[in-house]
A = this chain, B = another copy of it.
Amino acid sequence: MQNHANFMKEERQAMLLATLQREGKLLASEWSERLNVSEDTVRRDLRELARQQKLQRVHGGALPRSKPMAAYTARQRHEPAAKNAIGQAAATLVQDGQLIFIDGGTTTLQLASHLPEELHATVVTNGPAVAVALAMHPFVEVIVLGGKLYKLAQVTVGAAALNEMKNFHADVCFVGLCSIHPQVGLSVEDFEEAHIKRAMIASSAEVAGLVIAEHLGTALQYVVAPTKALTYLITDGTAEDAGLEAYRALGVTVIKAKT
């Protein structure tokens, strides 16, 4: 039994580095106990990290080598096929230096996790989940819109969020669409949510609508905007070209993400 209730090698090393950064020093003997491994193993970890210049080895333990000794690695996330593909396609529309709106919702959450790792941009969102996902992005600045939380869609709504939105003008705005119909336009099932989306669209230069194919051609209670308000319509590969023609005719650039 090597590890079962215990930590893995890289995990241990990450913890060692973290405490070094936090506390400025580290005793090998103490950590062999705390990590449930022999002192030899701790020593081996420290030797290895020292060879990588990540810390300074001393008799009895280790000292930090530099302050900004942040860990390694980049980013991640998961993929229900269609939404994943849509998110990926949408991510390509974002450019360095832009300010973008990202609506809350499950589809746009995929977009958040697919933003290029090297992207330098500002993201304004009304979805706490989007904010959490972007918290691990190395460069993008995240601004959360405040307000009452509408739990079903996990978005903030209400007058407060609406007001804040007016302080921004986005280059691109990504809206998750519960429903879109060529003639009816975009529509949702909650009154407050409709308001938020409308405000987002109003203060953006370009608008991208993200929608899974099965919601194409449907309509709900509250209309947000006419179809021609969209600059882009991004859907997945299972959408039929025939149905998409109606949107193209209205001047919308339709993007079919290949699944």
Report A's interface with B, CB cutoff 8 A. Answer: 2-4, 8-11, 13-15, 17-18, 20-21, 25, 27, 29, 49, 53-56, 58-61, 63-81, 128-129, 131-132, 134-138, 141-149, 151, 154, 156, 160-161, 164, 167
Q: Are B63 and A11 in contact (CB under 8 A)?
A: yes
Contacts of A138 in B (CB 8 A): 66-68
What's the Cα separation between A21 and B132 when bound, in Å? 10
Q: Are A72 and B11 in contact (CB under 8 A)?
A: no
Evaluate whether A8 and B58 lie within 8 angstroms (CB atoms) in the complex, with A13-B78, A66-B75, A138-B67 already known. Answer: yes
What's the Cα separation between A1 and B125 when bound, in Å? 44
> What are the nearest 6 A-B pairs in CB distance?
A146-B146, A69-B136, A128-B128, A142-B149, A65-B73, A66-B136
Q: Which residue of B lies closest to A61 (CB)?
A: B8
Contacts of A160 in B (CB 8 A): 143, 146, 164, 167
Q: Are B67 and A136 in contact (CB under 8 A)?
A: yes
Q: Are B144 and A128 in contact (CB under 8 A)?
A: yes
Contacts of A53 in B (CB 8 A): 74-76
Q: Are B76 and A9 in contact (CB under 8 A)?
A: no
Q: Given A66-B138, A128-B129, 20 more contacts at CB 8 Å?
A: A8-B59, A9-B58, A10-B80, A10-B81, A17-B78, A18-B77, A21-B76, A53-B75, A55-B76, A63-B73, A64-B76, A64-B136, A65-B76, A66-B73, A66-B76, A69-B135, A134-B149, A141-B149, A144-B147, A146-B161
Q: Are B69 and A75 in contact (CB under 8 A)?
A: yes
Selected from B49, B66, B74, the residue in CB contact (under 8 A) with A14 is B74
Q: Are B78 and A14 in contact (CB under 8 A)?
A: yes
What's the Cα separation between A259 and B140 when bound, in Å? 39
What's the Cα separation between A129 and B130 when bound, in Å? 10
What's the Cα separation between A91 and B79 when bound, in Å? 35
What's the Cα separation between A29 and B18 when bound, in Å? 26
A-B contact pairs, 16 of them (CB 8 A): A13-B78, A14-B63, A17-B78, A17-B79, A49-B76, A65-B74, A66-B74, A66-B138, A69-B135, A70-B71, A128-B144, A141-B148, A142-B151, A143-B147, A144-B147, A146-B156
